[in-house]
């Protein structure tokens, strides 16, 4: 199983709104550099998921989805990286 230390949480924004943030749990064993936003922005929309996968993306959530998970107490915002990693393990996204 992929260890938490082999992942990192990247937070980046798209769009003009301040809350247009995305939270991406990245497999740094697969891609130590993480998400390349320039390459991602140029990706063919039909292959967007494939490009994210190639970059090591394990889990990608929008800001409102993260807020909803916090509200439901499925994750905590005190250590978002650990919480999202634990959620990915619990949901068998990481096995």
User: What is the residue-wise DSSP string for 36-90?
Assistant: -HHHHHTS-GGGHHHHHHHTTEEEEEEHHHHHHHHHTTSS-STTHHHHHHHHHHH
* Residue ranges making up the domain that contains 76: 4-90
User: In the predicted model, is pLDDT for residue 89 greater than 70?
Assistant: yes
Any domain includes 95:
no
State both tokens at 85. 């990693």
CB atoms within 10 A of CB 16: 6
Binned at pLDDT 50, 70 and 90, residue 91 comes out as very high
Residue 24's nearest CA partner among 14, 39, 34 is: 34
Any domain includes 72:
yes
**Which residue(s) pair with 61 in the sheet?**
23
Q: Which residues contact 84 (CB under 8 A, 6 or more apart)?
A: 9, 23, 25, 59, 61, 75
Any domain includes 51:
yes
User: In the predicted model, is pLDDT for residue 17 greater than 90?
Assistant: no
Any domain includes 73:
yes
Question: What's the number of domains the chain is made of?
Answer: 1
pLDDT digits (tens, 9 = 90+) for 45-57: 999 999 999 999 9
Binned at pLDDT 50, 70 and 90, residue 95 comes out as confident
pLDDT digits (tens, 9 = 90+) for 35-82: 999 998 899 999 999 999 999 999 999 999 999 999 999 999 999 999
């Amino acid at each position: 199983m992929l260890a938490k230390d082999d992942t990192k949480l990247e937070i980046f924004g798209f769009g003009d709104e301040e809350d247009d943030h995305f939270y991406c749990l990245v497999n740094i064993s697969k891609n130590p550099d993480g998400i390349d936003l320039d390459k991602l922005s140029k990706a063919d929309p039909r292959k967007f998921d494939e490009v994210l996968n190639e970059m090591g993306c394990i889990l990608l959530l929008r800001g409102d989805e993260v807020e909803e998970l916090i509200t439901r107490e499925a994750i905590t915002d005190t250590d978002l990286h650990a919480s999202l990693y634990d959620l990915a393990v619990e949901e068998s996204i990481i096995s």
